[in-house]
Structure formats: C-alpha cells, structure tokens
C-alpha cells in the first residue's frame, strides 16, 4: 500500500505546480464541506461509506485514481454514495475539495500534490513515453510504471462537473441496462477517458465546453449545430490553408431520395455539404454524381459507408433521423408539402 | 449518530436512492468528444502515447476540405500511415504544426496525449454507439 501511495505522490508531482496551488487554497473549503454534507455518513461509516481517516479503506479506493473518486462523489455510486452527498447545491469544486480533505485525512494523494519540485518534473516530462519500451524519451515518464500510468492521476481542473457513473458493481435490475447514462457531456480532456490524465501537457488542451458554450447547441454528436454555427458566422473555419479570405462556392442542389415504407424521404442538400467539403471528397469515390445512380441503405450507413463515411463519425450522428429523413411523403391525408427540416431550421 | 442528524441522514439516504436510479449500469466509459480520433499505428510500439486528433477543435478553424482534399488525409482513422518523419517534412499534421500556422512539433505532449494502449478509433462512432452489455469490453471502451 505504501508504495502505491508513493506512486501517487510522484504522479501528483508530475501534474505540476498548478495542482499544488489548488490543493492549498482548498484546504479550508474541503473541511467545511465535509462537515456540512459528508460527515453524516463518512464519520461513522454508515451504509459502508469509507470512514474519515481510515487509511486502509481510502488507499484501496484511491487505486482507481483520484479522478474516479471525484466522479463518484459528484455523480454518486450505485452502492449508496448519493450524488454530491445529497446536497446538490454544492459545486463540483466544493465536492472535490471535500474528497481531497477526506483522502488527505487518510494520508492519500491530494496532499502529495503539494510536493515541491512538481514544476521540474513537468518540464522534464515533455515527450514522456511509455516506459516499458525503453525509448530515450522515457526519462520524462520515469515515475510511472505501466499500471500506474493507466490509473487516472489527480486532476484538479475545476471545469465542467462530470456526471460520470463510478465504476461499481452493476445492479442487474437497473432500469436502463443498455442505455448509457447521459453522464458528463463534453468533459475536459483529463476526464474524458481517452486522454492520459498523467500527461503533463493535458491541461494545455482546451476543454470542449469552453468553445461550445458560444455556439448553437444540438442534440447529439458534439452537441453543437455546426451548420448553424457556420451560417451565423460564429465560427470562421478557413477554406484555404493559408488564406483566411478564401470562400467556398457552395452549390445549392437538393437530391431527394424516395424511401420505401413509412420513413420520410431523404433530402440530400449539396449546399450544407459544399460549405465544408470539396466535390472531390464525395465524387466519385463515395457517390457517382448522378441522381439515383447510387445504392444507399441504412445498413450501409450504419456500417460507415455512403453517408455513414462522415455521419456517425464526424458530421452529425445517425441518431438524428429527421435531419436526413426530412421530407414528408405525399400522402393524401397531409398535403402540406413539407419543407426539409434542414431548410426549415435556417 | 446524534438524533438531530437523523432527519438529515434520511434525506441523504433518500438522495442515495435517487442517485441509484440515476446512475444505472455503472460501467465506466470514455466520454471523449465526438469525432476525436486516436491514432495508434506505431505509437505504442515506439513507446509514446497514442496521438489524439480532435476534429471539433480543428473544424472550428478549418473546413474539412483543407485537410481531406488539399492535404490529402484519407477518411480513415489510422489510414494515412502518418509518422514523425512525414510530419517534420511538412506532410499531414506537419503542414500546419510547423511553428507558422500552428505551434510546432516539439510540443510532443499536445498530440501524444492518449492513454497508452488505446487502439486506433474514431470516438463515439456509430459502431461504438451500438448498445452492448455494460460489462463487455466494447461497452467499457465507450
């Protein structure tokens, strides 16, 4: 156990001096929040809550990484830890401060992040490499043995609260067995599960929400309506590598693809596509430029072919049926010729 | 427990039940941004973290056409055989990450930022979204 904790200390040092600053100014808050909202269960260990000061229990939990503990505390766990201890008025930062306080009470990681020399470690860790492979760059990553690297390290970025579920026993009778919980959407890189939170460069990356909060929202994908963002000139992505002035010449040509069955017909709009893409991105590799000449089916799209080359990968995902299936069939009952949803949204 | 605290404890336990219903499954999944591409053809073997390419960030700055037509990136994660030599010679990422259009290549950590062992993938792609039992590796990868 000891050696584990030492590892965390070193990893904590890696994340640098910014962390120690945070850790220091939160000492007071952490204790206050703990006493008000957490002591209830965590003082006596009610319902299996890890007790304040119980080093054995906390260090075992710390193995999942402090980021996981933060998540459990903010989002709750299925084993009795209520989200934010049941006090939903707490901010994410306050909850994390309380976690730091509790972990520190047991001699765990956040205290260690104040270890001096963190800054040096950060500087020398540029180009940190996976140590096992014996790359020269590995000096940077020296403290991290492989298993420790895969463990989330202290992340003290106080960005978007993450509602991620904790890793915990799965209730076989959970209401949603397959539907993934909404979770913390657009989390900052250090918490997103594919970035390595132990990477010293991680905090230099932009948290998506910082960018997205200025853009029109959508229901899926990045949760940004990219067509509207571009249309309203809220973003000005370049059309040319070096020339910020260059403009695309969008082509306004809709292709209607009739769909058998009840689903509305598909309107494929060239305009929105040629704002972003070159003709050669689609023609002829993905689509022969001739109306009706291409076999397109949902099965192909779901497999990442045809429209699915982009939709379901980078452009809005396949779940947004009505953005593509936007034209009502000419059914005798409803004669109101539908405007394609894509157009109506403009 | 002090008696005065009991009411609060019950309230908190009530909240625990609510939390229970709100946190189903409980499997840990990655929540990275839609369209983030992990590129790991050579990285693991070479002892660096896999590269992570964020589409959302770049599409705020460039249309798809610049990369996928002018610079010749194929629409295939891991399909471009990118390596550092090509990058310092100004191809692929190196067409921009050259200290001129964007910060230069010595900032290894900004690109090589993935968790070691993460396979090449487009995050949140349709295939990854298809429902899978929470305990299978496929779901864990989400």
Per-residue DSSP letter, A142 = T
Say yes or no: A179 contacts chain B, CB-CB below 8 A.
Answer: yes
Q: What is the pLDDT of residue A155?
A: 34
Pick the residue from chain A with its C-alpha nearest to B44: A130
Pick the residue from chain B with its C-alpha nearest to A281: B69
Q: In this model, does residue A151 exceed pLDDT 70?
A: no
The per-residue pLDDT for range B64-100, each reduced to its tens digit, is 999 999 999 999 999 999 999 999 999 999 999 999 9
- List chain A residues with CB under 8 Å of B107: 126, 201
- List chain B residues with CB under 8 Å of A144: none
Say yes or no: A131 contacts chain B, CB-CB below 8 A.
Answer: yes
Q: Are strands B121-122 and B51-54 parallel, antiparallel or unpaired?
A: unpaired
Q: In this model, does residue A337 exceed pLDDT 90?
A: no
Q: What is the pLDDT of residue A118?
A: 34
∠ CA A191-A195-A198, nearest 5°, is 85
Do the chains contact at A135 and B47, CB–CB below 8 Å?
A: yes
Q: Which domain holds residue B105?
A: 3-126
CA-CA distance, A127 to A50, in Å (whole number)?
38
Q: What is the pLDDT of residue B21?
A: 26
Do the chains contact at A194 and B115, CB–CB below 8 Å?
A: yes
Q: What is the pLDDT of residue B43?
A: 96
CA-CA distance, A216 to A63, in Å (whole number)?
40
Pick the residue from chain A with its C-alpha nearest to B15: A86
Task: Report the range of poorest mean pLDDT among A17-26, A88-97, A106-115, A243-252.
Answer: A17-26
- Binned at pLDDT 50, 70 and 90, residue A262 comes out as very high
Q: What is the pLDDT of residue A80?
A: 74
The better pLDDT of the pair A328, A60 is held by A328
Which tokens is A132 given?
């096992």
The better pLDDT of the pair B5, B49 is held by B49
Average pLDDT, chain B: 77
* Number of domain units in chain B: 1
Most A CBs within 10 A among B58, B90, B91, B109, hence the mutation to make, goes to B109
Q: What is the pLDDT of residue A165?
A: 40
Q: Within a domain: residue B131?
A: no
Do the chains contact at B30 and A44, CB–CB below 8 Å?
A: no
Q: What is the pLDDT of residue B105?
A: 96
Of the candidates B142, B111, B8, the one whose C-alpha atom is nearest the C-alpha of residue A194 is B142
Domain limits of chain A?
A: 2-211, 215-346
pTM of the model: 0.70
Q: Within a domain: residue B134?
A: no
**What would the mean pLDDT of A55-77 be, rounded to a whole number?**
84
Q: Is B11 exposed, middle or buried (0-12, 13-18, 19+ CB in 10 A)?
A: middle
Nearest CB among B49, B62, B68 relative to A199 is that of: B49
**What would the mean pLDDT of A245-254 be, rounded to a whole number?**
94
- Binned at pLDDT 50, 70 and 90, residue A90 comes out as confident
Q: Within a domain: residue B71?
A: yes
Q: In this model, does residue B58 exceed pLDDT 90?
A: yes
Q: What is the pLDDT of residue A173?
A: 87
Homologous superfamily of domain range A2-211 = Cytochrome c-like domain (1.10.760.10)
Average pLDDT, chain A: 73
Contacts made by residues A61-65, CB under 8 angstroms, sequence distance 24+: A62/A4, A62/A5, A62/A8, A62/A103, A62/A108, A62/A109, A63/A4, A63/A151, A64/A151, A64/A152, A64/A167, A65/A151, A65/A152, A65/A153, A65/A197
CA-CA distance, A126 to A36, in Å (whole number)?
41
Helix axes A66-75, A55-62, angle to 10 degrees: 100
Nearest CB among A83, A277, A301 relative to B64 is that of: A277
Pick the residue from chain B with its C-alpha nearest to A43: B1
Q: Within a domain: residue B137?
A: no
| R_g of chain A, CA atoms, integer Å | 26
Asked if A184 and A164 count as a contact pair (C-beta separation under 8 A), the reply is yes
CA-CA distance, A197 to A201, in Å (whole number)?
9
Q: Closest approach of chain A CAs to the CA of B83, in angstroms?
A: 15
Q: What is the pLDDT of residue B19?
A: 30
The better pLDDT of the pair A74, A251 is held by A251
Task: Report the range of poorest mean pLDDT among A90-104, A147-161, A196-210, B101-115.
Answer: A147-161
- Binned at pLDDT 50, 70 and 90, residue A61 comes out as confident
- List chain A residues with CB under 8 Å of B95: 241
The HSE-up count of residue A288 (CA atoms within 13 Å, CB side) is: 7
Q: Rounded to the nearest 5°, which phi and psi values hold at A162?
A: -105, 130
- Interface A–B counts its CB contacts (< 8 A) at 293
Q: In this model, does residue A140 exceed pLDDT 60?
A: no
Q: What is the pLDDT of residue A183?
A: 64
What's the CATH code, domain A215-346?
A: 3.90.10.10
Q: What is the pLDDT of residue A144?
A: 31
Which tokens is A31 given?
């204790």
- The residues facing A266 across adjacent strands are A257
Q: Within a domain: residue B34?
A: yes
Residue with tokens 């809005």: A316
Q: What is the pLDDT of residue A108?
A: 62
The better pLDDT of the pair B18, B50 is held by B50
Q: In this model, does residue A4 exceed pLDDT 90?
A: no
Q: In this model, does residue A6 exceed pLDDT 90?
A: no
The per-residue pLDDT for range A173-227, each reduced to its tens digit, is 888 777 766 667 888 999 888 999 999 999 999 999 999 999 999 999 999 999 9
Task: Report the range of poorest mean pLDDT among A125-134, A330-339, B71-80.
Answer: A125-134
∠ CA A173-A174-A176, nearest 5°, is 125
Q: Is A259 exposed, middle or buried (0-12, 13-18, 19+ CB in 10 A)?
A: middle
Strands of B121-122's sheet, edge to edge?
A: B51-54, B36-39, B121-122
The CA-atom distances, in angstroms, between A210 and each of A202, A206, A215 are: 15, 7, 10
Q: What is the pLDDT of residue B20?
A: 25
Pick the residue from chain B with its C-alpha nearest to A41: B9
Q: What is the pLDDT of residue B2?
A: 45
> What CATH number is given to the structural domain containing B113?
3.90.10.10
- Binned at pLDDT 50, 70 and 90, residue B29 comes out as low
Do the chains contact at B19 and A82, CB–CB below 8 Å?
A: yes
Do the chains contact at B23 and A181, CB–CB below 8 Å?
A: yes
Task: Report the range of poorest mean pLDDT among A213-227, B1-15, B24-38, B74-88.
Answer: B1-15
The CA-atom distances, in angstroms, between A104 and each of A15, A23, A27, A36, A53 are: 17, 10, 10, 18, 8
**What would the mean pLDDT of A318-333 be, rounded to a whole number?**
84
Q: What is the pLDDT of residue A182?
A: 67
Q: In this model, does residue A99 exceed pLDDT 70?
A: yes
Pick the residue from chain B with its C-alpha nearest to A310: B75
Asked if A168 and A77 count as a contact pair (C-beta separation under 8 A), the reply is yes
Do the chains contact at A312 and B129, CB–CB below 8 Å?
A: yes
Highest mean pLDDT among A106-110, B13-17, B81-85: B81-85
């Amino acid at each position: 156990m000891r050696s584990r904790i030492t590892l965390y200390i070193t990893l904590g040092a890696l994340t640098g001096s910014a962390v120690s600053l945070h850790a220091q100014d939160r000492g007071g808050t952490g204790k206050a929040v703990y006493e008000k909202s957490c002591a209830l269960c965590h003082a006596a260990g009610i319902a299996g809550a890890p007790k304040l000061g119980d080093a054995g229990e906390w260090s075992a939990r710390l193995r999942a990484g402090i980021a996981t503990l933060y998540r459990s505390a903010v989002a709750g766990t299925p084993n009795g830890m209520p989200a934010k201890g049941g006090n939903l008025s707490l901010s994410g930062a306050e909850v994390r401060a309380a976690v730091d306080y509790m972990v520190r009470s047991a001699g765990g990681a956040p205290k260690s992040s104040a270890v001096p020399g963190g800054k040096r470690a950060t500087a020398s860790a540029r180009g940190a490499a996976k140590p096992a492979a014996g790359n020269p760059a590995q000096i940077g990553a020296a403290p991290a043995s492989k298993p420790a690297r895969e463990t989330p390290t202290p992340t003290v970025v106080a960005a978007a609260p993450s509602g991620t579920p904790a890793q915990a026993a799965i209730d076989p009778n959970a209401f949603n067995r397959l539907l993934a919980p909404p979770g913390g959407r657009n989390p900052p890189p250090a918490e997103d599960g594919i970035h390595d939170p132990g990477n010293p460069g991680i905090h230099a990356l932009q948290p998506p929400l910082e960018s997205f909060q200025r853009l029109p929202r959508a229901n899926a994908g990045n949760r940004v309506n990219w067509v509207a963002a571009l249309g309203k000139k809220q973003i000005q992505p370049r059309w040319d590598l070096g020339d910020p002035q260059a403009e695309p010449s969008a082509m306004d040509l809709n292709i209607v693809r009739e769909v058998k069955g009840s689903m509305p017909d598909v309107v494929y709009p060239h305009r929105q596509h040629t704002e972003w893409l070159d003709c050669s991105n689609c023609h002829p590799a993905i689509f022969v430029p001739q109306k009706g000449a291409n076999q397109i089916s949902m099965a192909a799209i779901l497999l990442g072919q045809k429209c699915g080359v982009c939709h379901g990968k980078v452009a809005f995902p396949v779940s947004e049926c009505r953005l593509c299936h936007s034209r009502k069939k000419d059914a005798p009952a409803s004669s109101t010729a539908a405007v394609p949803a894509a157009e109506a949204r403009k | 427990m002090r008696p005065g605290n009991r009411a609060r404890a019950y309230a908190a336990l009530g909240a625990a039940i609510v939390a229970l219903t709100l946190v189903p499954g409980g499997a840990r999944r990655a929540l990275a941004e839609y369209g983030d591409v992990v590129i790991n053809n050579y990285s693991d073997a070479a002892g660096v973290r896999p590269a992570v390419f964020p589409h959302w960030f770049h599409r705020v700055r460039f249309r798809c056409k610049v990369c996928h037509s002018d610079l010749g990136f194929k629409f295939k994660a891991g399909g471009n055989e990118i390596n550092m030599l090509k990058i310092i010679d100004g191809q692929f990422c190196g067409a921009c990450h050259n200290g001129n259009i964007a910060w230069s290549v010595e900032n290894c950590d900004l690109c090589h930022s993935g968790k070691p062992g993460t396979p090449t993938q487009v995050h949140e792609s349709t295939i990854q979204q298809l429902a899978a039992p929470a305990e299978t590796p496929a779901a864990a990868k989400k």
